[in-house]
Amino acid sequence: MIRSDSGKFVLEAALLFPFVVTATVALVFLGLFAGVQSTALSAAGLAADRAAFAWDNSHKNPVTGSFLPGQYDGLYWRLTDDFPSSALSIRKMEAALATIGAFAGKESRYENAVWRRKVSVEATAAFAAPDVLPAIGRVERTLQRSEAIVTDPVEWVRTVDTVRLYWPMVERFITPQEAERMVEEFRLRPGAGREAPAFRNHEEAVEYLQQLVGGAYKRIDTEEVGEYRRIEAYDRHGVAHHAYLGTKNISDVRDQLLKDEELLGKGLVKGVVWHFFRRADTGAIGPSDKLRKELEKRGIVIVIHE
């Protein structure tokens, strides 16, 4: 028989307090998780939209669309370089990725189905909750993906007008066999190959990279690792590009990796891209699995020129 109930409020509060605190903390981190997802999705959508917006000219600033007079891509780039693995397409996507800042991982993809051209971007944001929240604590990063359709209204109008003007002439004077022969000759002309080059030494790879991205050597001082980082191709958007020949392990490039992480963290560069080229004598190319994970973890973009 209970003689007094004077302490029941304290007892109930003591029993409920841990559940209230746990629920409150869980709600806070749930909000943080939603915020991280929203940030990654927003960044992926922004990069995809900017790439699609500036797709007709790789010299355009992806943010403002500005470019200097006379800066255009080749006259026939839509026929020879507008495919997923081309150097021109890679350069356009890199320029857009560089505008959204550092993430745990950034990847872009371009699809050209002739009737539809699409840019897709994936942004990975790091996230970790306390171990006391097992349902959330296992989530180390969140991946968000966005797509944008490439439109080219000026080229569409020009193509329609050209077809209207020349199709009657083509139909009357050129046979299907002759047309096929002319297209084949154009496709096999010198310099139209699509295979990525292989290099004998690092200097050749750097020279090719500088021409590819329109960059030049630049030295930036560092404080945490070494004295400075020598950027092999610093482009007009403030993105640092580096060339690596053959296969690389993390032990080969640890200092370079840490220096690039410092440059990104301090905002001294807008982005860092590591380009891996095939070695001509062995055919080797690309980073090791461990190095790839470390690069993605630090927000460094990886491009393998296969």
Angle at which helices 87-97 and 202-213 cross, to 10°: 70
Query: What percentage of the chain's residues is helix, strand, coil (to nearest 5)?
Result: 45, 20, 35
**At how many degrees (to 10) do helices 289-297 and 254-265 cross?**
20
Q: What are phi and psi of 128, to 5 degrees?
A: -145, 125
Q: Which pLDDT score is estimated for 150?
A: 92
More confident residue, 302 or 187: 302
Contact 151, 118 (CB under 8 A): no
What's residue 219's pLDDT?
Answer: 92
Q: Which residue has the higher pLDDT, 27 or 149?
A: 149
- pLDDT tens profile 243-282: 999 888 888 888 999 999 999 888 898 888 999 998 888 8
Phi, psi of 8 (to 5 degrees): -70, -30
Q: Is the pLDDT of residue 292 over 50?
A: yes
Here the tokens at position 296 are 């993605």
Rounded CA-CA distance 55/62 in Å is 9
Q: What architecture does CATH give domain 198-304?
A: 3-Layer(aba) Sandwich (3.40)
Tens of pLDDT, residue by residue over 79-100, are 888 888 888 999 899 888 888 8
Task: Give 297: exposed, middle or buried? Use CB within 10 Å, 0-12, 13-18, 19+.
Answer: middle
pLDDT at 77: 86
What is the band of 232 on the pLDDT scale with cuts at 50, 70, 90? very high
What is d(CA 79, CA 159) in angstroms, rounded to the nearest whole number? 13
Instruction: Tell me which residue of 72, 216, 86 sits closest to 154, measured CA to CA.
Output: 72
Residues pairing with 304 in the sheet: 276
Q: What is the pLDDT of residues 178-231, one digit of tens each?
A: 666 766 665 555 545 556 678 889 999 999 888 888 889 999 998 888 889 999
Residues of the chain with CATH 3.40.1350: 198-304
In angstroms, the CA 133 to CA 151 distance is 46
Residue 137's pLDDT is 45
